[in-house]
Each structure stands twice: as structure tokens, then as C-alpha cells.
Amino acid sequence: MTIKITGTGSELPEKIVTNFDMQELVETSDEWIRERTGIAERRISTGETVSSLSAKACQKALEMAGKAASEVELIIVATCSPELLLPCCACQVQDMIGASNAAAFDMNAACSGFLFALNTVNAYLQAGIYKNALIAGSEVLSKLVDWTDRGTCVLFGDGAGAAFVEASADDAVYDNGRKAGLECMVQGSDGAKGMVLSCAERPVNNAFVSEKQTVNPYIQMNGQEVYKFATRQVPACINKALDKAGLCVDDVDLFILHQANVRIIESVAKRLKADIAKFPMNLDKVGNMSSATIPVLLDELNRSGKIKKGDRIVLSGFGAGLTYGASVLVW
């Protein structure tokens, strides 16, 4: 038995903020941002929430899969920017789409969140606990960004992507000799270096604390350390997954990576000795959406026909934690 993604969906806020808009807010320029990140514009919420974006992406994934919300058995929303601590975003999504028969919970592995959720769903489905699941990666990072800090505010965007996943016993083989489904997945964390990318929650200021604490509520990032981590760990993680599946880089048709920075993606391609043409990108239009980047790009490629049945794809993400992961699957 394996698992298959049978539906994808995505949703972005209506507001487009270009680099020229950003240079009206902070000391920067279109050229400076493009050269260092590859980003030209991003979508920014003017009222859309993590839950509303998730729900719309999930509905689109269900429509593609030909499923009703009442058939969904599990919902996992990967996010690090929910509007509410309680109830969780997944329960809000459950209510919004009418998936009354589903269990629902959130997961926070930052930019690796969608992959960690996919691995969790795989475990549930392989164990026979559930037969299907909705996974969403959704973020409204614009509320976590200091809009006076050009080192971070130019990077991030808002949005959501989703996938409907089903257990499958189908052993049909494509003409290229491949069977559809998940072939391998690896994931890991390096918590010792976690503070190079952080965002504080409310401090402990209860009735028993004598000295009240204050925190910086915005994203804090050491860009150089994150870059070094990503360019080292992502190719290593991908190679580990391919080795585990008995495959090599040449066996992969597409590498769908977390869309953080064009330089990181180019470096990963170089270290893997893979053709950069196999690394589709959309960060120029949406920026870094953390857990939403992989499912949004996956949906974009799926709906445009750029992923075909029998294609072998690698999904790989990295982010705060520090977390990282890679999965290998045949579409």
C-alpha cells in the first residue's frame, strides 16, 4: 500500500505588493531585492486569514479529487502564523468546509511544515487508521514581519496550498516502469541552531512574575546562517532520500523546493549536479510563504500540466527549527 496525491489547490490574497512598493516603505530597490532573492512581488493579506486561505485551498483540492468534504477523515494544517492559539486552524477549516467527520489538528515545522504533515499523513494511512487526509500549508507572515526591517520584510508573502491524499493499493505500472505513489521520505531537525530564525510568542507575565518581560514580536533572522544551512542540508537530505529509494538524481524529473531564495535553489541544483531546468520556481511572484510554498507551487505545476502521470518528483523543504525534509514520489 502507498499513498497518492489525488487533488491539489491553492489560494493567494488579492493584494500584490511589488518591489517598487517596498522601496516606498524601506531603503531598498527592485534591483537590490531581485539580485539577492529573485523576488519581484508578493501577495499580502488585507484581511484574508490563515484559516480562510486554507479552507479555499482545501476546497479546490477536494474538487480536483472529486471528493465531498464529508468524506474527509483527517485534516492537518501546517502553519507558524495562526490567528488563534485556540481553536487550532485545522478545526476552523473543518468547520468552514463542512468536513464534520474529520479529525483535525495543526502542525508547526515552519517552512518544512507541509512535508512533515505529508509524512504524518503517510504514517496514519499506512497504519490503516485513516484512508484519506487533507493537508494544507498556510501562512499570513505579513503580520509577523517588521515592516521597517528591509532584511526580512522584502522576503515574505502570504498564501495557502493544499493536497488531498488517499491510501492506494493500486499496483498499476506506467509505461516508464514506475508505480504512482510515495517512494521515500526523510526528515530531520537541528534544534541547536534554531535561534538563527525565530519569532517570539507572548512572554510569561503572569501574576507570580515580579519583573515583567518584553519581547520583540517580529521575525528575527540571521540570513547568512540560514543560507549556509539550506545550501548544505537540502542537497544532503535529497541525496539521502534518493539513496534510500535506490535512485539517483538523474531519475528525477522535477525538484519542487521550498521557495525561499533563488540563490539557494541554484546552489542546491549545482551541488546535486542537476539541470536547473528541473527546479521550477514561482518565488518571483509570491515570495517566501513558509509552509505554503511547496503546495502552492505543486498546485500551480499540476494545474498547468507541467507534472505528468509517471513523473518522479522530489519535494524538499527547510526552515525554522531548524527543520528539513525531502520526499520522493511518482505522480
The residues annotated as belonging to the active site are 111, 258, 288
Q: Following DSSP, what letter does each residue of 270-310 receive, concatenated?
A: HHHT--GGGS---HHHH-B-GGGHHHHHHHHHHHTT-S-TT
Q: Tell me how far the alpha carbon of residue 148 is from its chain's centroid.
A: 26
- Please name the amino acid found at residue 305: G
Among residues 241, 264, 8, the alpha carbon closest in space to that of 281 is found at: 264
Residue 162 to residues 146, 234, 251, 277, 309: CA-CA distances in angstroms? 28, 22, 26, 25, 19
- Please name the amino acid found at residue 154: V
Residue 100 parent element (H or E):
none
Instruction: State whether residue 127 is helix, strand or coil.
Output: coil
Strands 197-198 and 181-189: unpaired
CA distance 183 to 185: 7
CA distance 205 to 288: 33
